[in-house]
Amino acid sequence: MNTFRIIAISLFLSALFPACQEDIQRPENISKELLQHRLDMLVQRSLETYEQYPPIREKIYRSRSGFWTLRFAEESDWCSGFYPGILWQLYGYSSKEPLMIAAKAYTSFLQKEALKSDSHDIGFKINSSYGQAWKIRKEQEFKLTLIQAARSLSKRYDARMQAIKSWDYNPGHYQYPVIIDNLMNLELLFEASRLSNEPSFYRLARSHVETSLKHHFREDFSSYHLVNLDSMSGELLGKETNQGVSDESAWARGQAWGLYGMTLAYRYTRDSSYLRQAEGIADFFFNHPNLPEDFIPYWDFDAPDIPEAPRDVSAGVITASALFELATYSNNREEYLNWGDQVLLSLESSQYQASRLPFFLDKSTGNMPIEEEIEVPIVYADYYYVEALIRRLKFFP
Ligand code: GLY
């Protein structure tokens, strides 16, 4: 092969695999410059994505399952709000107009979802998209959609259960399933209560937190994924897993949802028992003997094949973002900042950076028991990554 062809092929390959050009090592410390540099890179990548692939309803990014294979989220998918939410956050950071145009387009695709009451995921869908939109631009339509979505979510609350029902499927097995992830959807209710002066949203959210506290958590602050309640009496029928190794295991993303959920519940209520719960979950997670040295967890703390078990970057980064909020309430501020920083620093190394557009991070694990999305780029990891970087930046003058 002549020299010209070798150079041409290397240039072509380095354009395809930008992150492979050099093996980037983990930096020592978090600094304002490092955070800004990373966020600037994410802005740049998102602008490139927008230029190459204008927003279309059928192509809301969800994950990548192979070099060529992108997976898209339908509007009804629980992941559909994350991509617009990434764009809103990066627009808020950079003020780059094309990001706002793209964010608005992707957000508008989800309008009808605010009217649906068929799953608790309406919180993930609408709060991550319209909720971020409202934070950045105070347009009435965004606020009204949030309130409408809260109304729809409230219909899934049953006073006998004192909880929101997570899923309607598999009624032969689940009578009234409530999953730990459901805590995340309460942000929509708490926020809509503030926006609408409607106290019932707040009351429902609070009573759901109490039910979750009563049933989901173990003595060591780890959590069960799912509790199944008797749909007539509200009595506890069983505690089990859906996405973890076993009923008694600690599924990593479930622990992350619990930490984030209890922290946001404290934000709106200032109830010290929620703060203590969040602190306990953080301790469980970061002092666990099975947490790898780089602080990026295995997909389940009890995975049988540790240290070969797949990692879940999403669990690490959701936790980091939660810690950066918890640090503002807790006496353990320095410890939480340090733990969150360790996650962000590890994500700087090339093994965790996604090489291809539109994603930022690699190695998240979506659903191991059904062998779906294992150690791949997934959109919710990117969403909480951007949030964590922006939250951490606010600690610097
Ligand atoms: N159900 C949301 C998750 O997979 O974490």
How does pLDDT run across 297-344, given as a tens digit for each residue?
999 999 999 999 999 999 999 999 999 999 999 999 999 999 999 999
342-391 residue pLDDT tens: 999 999 999 999 999 999 999 999 999 999 999 999 999 999 999 999 99
pLDDT of residue 6 exceeding 50, the answer is no
* 52-66 mean pLDDT: 95
Most informative mutation of 78, 120, 255, 318 for ligand 1 (most atoms within 8 A of CB):
78
CA 193 to chain centre: 22
Is there an atom of ligand 1 within 6 Å of 62 CB? no
* Residue bearing the CA closest to ligand 1, atom 4: 366
Nearest atom in ligand 1 to the alpha carbon of residue 314 is: 5
The pLDDT value given to residue 122: 96
Joined together, the tokens standing for residue 25 give 């090592």
The pLDDT value given to residue 96: 98
Cβ-contact 382, 361 below 8 angstroms: yes
pLDDT of residue 11 exceeding 60, the answer is no
Cβ-contact 381, 373 below 8 angstroms: no
The pLDDT value given to residue 37: 98
Is there an atom of ligand 1 within 6 Å of 253 CB? yes
Lowest mean pLDDT among 31-35, 169-173, 277-281, 318-322: 169-173
Is there an atom of ligand 1 within 6 Å of 181 CB? yes
Q: From the CA of 225, how far away is ligand 1's center (Å)?
A: 10
Q: From the CA of 13, how far away is ligand 1's center (Å)?
A: 35
The pLDDT value given to residue 25: 79
Report pTM: 0.94
- Ramachandran area for residue 22 (φ above 0: left; ψ -120 to 50: alpha; else beta): beta
Nearest atom in ligand 1 to the alpha carbon of residue 366 is: 4
| Mean pLDDT for the chain overall | 94
Most informative mutation of 180, 243, 379, 383 for ligand 1 (most atoms within 8 A of CB):
243
Cα 300 from Cα 302, distance rounded (Å): 5
Is there an atom of ligand 1 within 6 Å of 121 CB? no
pLDDT of residue 38 exceeding 80, the answer is yes
The pLDDT value given to residue 66: 85
Cβ-contact 33, 27 below 8 angstroms: no
Q: From the CA of 140, how far away is ligand 1's center (Å)?
A: 30
Considering all CA atoms of the chain, what is the largest pairwise distance in Å, rounded to the nearest integer?
78
* Residue bearing the CA closest to ligand 1, atom 1: 181
Cα 248 from Cα 114, distance rounded (Å): 35
Nearest atom in ligand 1 to the alpha carbon of residue 254 is: 5
Instruction: Indicate which residues carry an active-site annotation.
Output: 121, 181
Cα-based angle 317, 322, 325 (whole degrees, multiple of 5): 135
Q: From the CA of 311, how far away is ligand 1's center (Å)?
A: 15
Q: From the CA of 179, how far away is ligand 1's center (Å)?
A: 9
Nearest atom in ligand 1 to the alpha carbon of residue 243 is: 4
Nearest atom in ligand 1 to the alpha carbon of residue 253 is: 5
* Residue bearing the CA closest to ligand 1, atom 2: 181
What type of residue is 118?
A: D
Sheet holding 226-229, edge to edge: 176-179, 226-229, 236-240
pLDDT of residue 4 exceeding 90, the answer is no
Percent of the chain with pLDDT over 90: 92
Q: From the CA of 77, how far away is ligand 1's center (Å)?
A: 11
